[in-house]
Amino acid sequence: MLSSPVRRAPCDRIGFALARRRPRAFAIDREAADGELAPSMLKAGIVGLPNVGKSTLFNALTRSRKAEAANYPFCTINPNVGVVTVPDDRLEVLRKITKTHVAIPAAIEFVDIAGLVAGASKGEGLGNQFLGTIREVDAIVHVVRCFVDPDVIHPMGSVGPVRDIEVVATELILSDLEAVLKRIDKTQKKAKSGDKEAVAEIALLERLAPHLDANRPANILSVNDEEAKLLRLFQLLSAKPVIYACNVAEGDLATAEQNPFVQVVAEFVRAHHDAAYVPIGARIEAELIDLAPDEAKAYLKDLGVEDSGVSSLIRATYGLLGLLTFFTSNENEVRAWTIRNGWKAPQAAGVIHTDFERGFIKAEVVSYADLARLGSLAAAREAGKYRLEGREYAMRDGDVAHFRFSTA
């Protein structure tokens, strides 16, 4: 049987069922898993020293975007976990073209991991518990204090972004070093018996141990593709991609790039592969929660900015992880879906439903740019921009896709 999510009844039923249960939104690292990982939404953990603005940012993020995240109610059970939708102007354009009322953005789960203090890797300040939570996230949003305020105590006595970054990073690295040494112990015997995989593991672990011991995070170790896969398997904390959220005073937001605290973070980031930085105004974002959208815009305009940096932070999280968005659109809804760069059409279909991947036949694809320019699917078809792609097609950011699959 040939079927597709828009026109055929079986898929409509699937779509209906999907709307009522947790969508199979995202599986971040399928290829790294021994078996298939349970699909889950992309997770970012907010870390940093105490009093840098983590909770302010978390509350602002999750409260201000609560309405938009209403389609993801399953994630709001835990008070430290919030769902944040990914801002994407293309959805509104597609919604108008499709003439539907419902637009569902992609979403990221943010976890507030509380303050890490020096000694966390040795259990200080509930350290191990926090480190365990970090192990479960796909990316780390490291909030760095870049505002001076004598009324807000700084645990280190003064504002010093790179020093603060290093305090937190050191705890992650120490925890990793312990894990690596344990793994060497465990794997050595197997490697000596000639087990090929164990030999490869030991070779990497023995490069990692001195690297970590020199207080260098795992994400700056240069590795080939095979080693990168192994590294993911080790689930090291310092191997996770990091975004430094530079929390600046509201008066500094418009000129954040000239802020000396932000500049030293930028300098630091240049030395790291898997890192990025975004200036944010956590307190401003928190203050915007209670304003009407127009008032919020006017308030930001007075400060000389378009947004408080939080939207950029969400987008940067997305970019850093090498993620891209594709869309589905039909008369019921338009929806953004998250996949990894390089994923082929059947994998992308599988994000919507496993049946779509299993029975994949073809993907009907039109790029967002073409669709937006031409104004309708019919016009896109006429212009020859509506393509039929097979299983080897690598999805591109902005593809509007319609999957044909068989349930037989």
Q: Which residues bind ligand GDP (CB under 6 A)?
A: 48, 50-56, 115, 147, 149, 152, 247, 249, 281-283
When the beta carbons of 105 and 115 are compared against ligand GDP, the nearer one is 115
Residue 54 CB, shortest distance to ligand GDP, in Å, is 3
What are the angstrom distances between the C-alpha of 229 and each of 24, 189, 203, 235, 239? 23, 22, 14, 10, 12
| H runs (alpha helix) in 235-344 | 260-270, 282-288, 293-302, 310-320
Residue 147 CB, shortest distance to ligand GDP, in Å, is 4
The H or E element containing residue 277 is: strand 275-280
Residue 201 CB, shortest distance to ligand GDP, in Å, is 37
Residue 70 CB, shortest distance to ligand GDP, in Å, is 25
Cβ-based neighbours of 336, under 8 Å, separated by 6 or more? 86, 88, 90, 91, 104, 105, 106, 325, 326, 327
When the beta carbons of 58 and 318 are compared against ligand GDP, the nearer one is 58
When the beta carbons of 46 and 179 are compared against ligand GDP, the nearer one is 46
When the beta carbons of 54 and 272 are compared against ligand GDP, the nearer one is 54
Strand extents, DSSP E, 74-138 = 81-85, 103-104, 107-112
Packing angle of the helix pair 310-320, 54-64 (nearest 10 deg): 90
The H or E element containing residue 171 is: helix 161-192
CB count within 10 Å of CB 213 equals: 13
Residue 71 CB, shortest distance to ligand GDP, in Å, is 27
Distance CA 222, CA 219 (A): 8
Residue 146 CB, shortest distance to ligand GDP, in Å, is 8
Cβ-based neighbours of 357, under 8 Å, separated by 6 or more? 346, 347, 349, 350
Biggest CA pair distance of the chain: 69
Residue 149 CB, shortest distance to ligand GDP, in Å, is 4
When the beta carbons of 144 and 221 are compared against ligand GDP, the nearer one is 144
When the beta carbons of 47 and 339 are compared against ligand GDP, the nearer one is 47
When the beta carbons of 49 and 275 are compared against ligand GDP, the nearer one is 49
